[in-house]
Amino acid sequence: MALRDETGPYFGDFGGRYVPESLIEALDELSVAWEAAKVDPAFHTELDGLLTNYVGRPSVITEVERFAAHAGGARILLKREDLNHTGSHKINNVLGQALLTKRIGKTRVIAETGAGQHGVATATAAALFGLDCVVYMGEVDTERQALNVARMRLLGAEVIPVTTGSRTLKDAINDAMRDWVTNVESTNYIFGTVAGPHPFPAMVRDLQKIIGEESREQVLALTGRLPDAVAACVGGGSNAMGIFHAFLDDTEVGLYGFEAAGDGVDTPRHAATISRGRPGVLHGARTFLLQDEDGQTVESHSISAGLDYPGVGPEHSWLSSIGRAEYRGVTDAAAMDALRLLSRTEGIIPAIESAHALAGVLELGRELGPDSVILVNLSGRGDKDMETAGRYFDLIDAGAEQA
């Protein structure tokens, strides 16, 4: 069977539904609604219309020659998801799930968010469709992504800072699940990544695979061939699955996921789940995760809130286990250097998340050589990260007041 045809609940030994019984009915309902929507032309007409006229799809690809000069001269093409409305790939998934929410007749949506991009996208869709919206966000993240908190609130969403556990994305998901268990009759959980219980990994992947489908055509049109490598950052892994999927059965195309290595994969402070974790169950799926010998989840660390997650989508665990995709770690320092390099060579400020992929590609380009073509998912823009970057690079004048 073609790798592209996997639809869950299992991807090899990974995936499933490790959730309280109270959620099964809602997951079944979503699965049925999603299978029906997938084959309903009216659903696709509506979604495609939104993607064209609201999001601004298709997103372009941009060749970055001055940046590529630092990557051994490989040809580097950026898939510009940063140019989407709301500033990242997250909106692709959210609009699909918001339409699905309407189809199943629910009026309230909840979401978890790390960097705030998924939360902003969900708040945006909720505003567009007139849905009540609550976003759970770890307290640590509400502090380092304060701008996105303000955006969500301006859009009419309620943002609830989560103060349990590590106070990051993992704990935001726990609280969102508790809310869902309690309010499942009125509420749909718009999950932001390809992790979680079935149908989320397959459904979010299906809603993000447009990234790879568009860019596969665009690279063929520009270069006359498929790329040698496709690269993306991986936290939960939705932008990576989105761009990988169209290429899964193109065996000549290498797939590279770059995980957040924080201070380094050999230090205790990283979020390199596949590189350093082992299989277990977290947030409803069997997948690789960072855990101690008792199976307690270990807190992850990354300068990027969006990659600061100790789990990963089960389809990535599967692609890694069968050798179809390769996952590598990129440190905070390497990612921030790449963020600055792309800014200064190309005039594009990437999200810190996406900068992990860029940093990985600088090395990958040198390995693959000057004749190679590398497609990179620029999953988000860096506006939200100006405070972190400003502090990191000491860019903000002492005494300056930030609004």
Partner 1 sequence: MSAVSDVIRTRVDAGSGALVGYLPVGFPTFEESVDAAVAIAQSGVDVIELGLPYSDPVMDGPVIQKATQQALARGFRLSHGFEAVRRITEQVQTPVLLMTYWNPVLSYGVERFADDLVSAGGAGLITPDLIPDEGEEWLVASERTGLDRVFLAAPSSSDARLKRAVEVSRGFVYAVSTMGITGARSDVDSAARGLVARLRDAGVENTCVGLGISTAQQVREVLEYADGAIVGSALVTALSTGGVEAVARVAADLATGTSAPA
Q: 138 CB contacts (<8 Å, ≥6 apart)?
A: 114, 161, 162, 166, 167, 168, 169, 170, 171, 172
Shortest Cβ 300–partner 1 spacing (Å)? 12
8 A C-beta contact, residue 127 and residue 54:
no
Shortest Cβ 119–partner 1 spacing (Å)? 19
Shortest Cβ 30–partner 1 spacing (Å)? 13
Catalytic residue, from 90, 106, 209, 384: name it.
Answer: 90
15: which 2 tokens? 């995936």
Catalytic residue, from 31, 317, 379, 384: name it.
Answer: 379
Q: Which is nearer to partner 1, 173 or 334 (CB)?
A: 173
Q: Which is nearer to partner 1, 172 or 359 (CB)?
A: 172
Q: How far apart are CA 76 and CA 119, in angstroms?
A: 30
Q: How far apart are CA 250 and CA 253, in angstroms?
A: 6
8 A C-beta contact, residue 180 and residue 187:
yes
The verdict on whether 90 is a catalytic residue reads yes
Shortest Cβ 277–partner 1 spacing (Å)? 12
Q: Which is nearer to partner 1, 140 or 375 (CB)?
A: 140
Shortest Cβ 149–partner 1 spacing (Å)? 23
Which of 60, 339, 358, 91 lies closest to 232 in space, CA to CA?
358
CA angle 278/365/290 to nearest 5° reads 15
DSSP per-residue codes, 114-151: SSSHHHHHHHHHHHHHT-EEEEEEEHHHHHHTHHHHHH
Shortest Cβ 14–partner 1 spacing (Å)? 12
Q: Could you tell me the CA-to-CA distances from 193 to 42, 206, 262, 395, 403 in Å, in that order?
A: 25, 11, 21, 32, 31
Q: Which is nearer to partner 1, 49 or 295 (CB)?
A: 295
Catalytic residue, from 79, 81, 106, 112: name it.
Answer: 112
Which of 155, 17, 79, 176 lies closest to 373 in space, CA to CA?
79
Q: Which is nearer to partner 1, 24 or 150 (CB)?
A: 24
Binding site for partner 1 (CB under 8 A): 16-22, 24-26, 28, 164-165, 170-171, 174, 177-178, 181-185, 280-284, 291, 293-297
Shortest Cβ 136–partner 1 spacing (Å)? 12
8 A C-beta contact, residue 310 and residue 275:
no
DSSP letter for 306, please. G
DSSP letter for 380, please. B
Q: What is the helix (H) or strand (E) element at residue 326, kind and residue range? A: strand 325-331
The edge-to-edge listing of strands for the beta sheet with 278-282 is 10-11, 14-18, 284-289, 278-282
Q: How far apart are CA 176 and CA 156, in angstroms?
A: 18
User: Which residues are known to be catalytic?
Assistant: 90, 112, 379
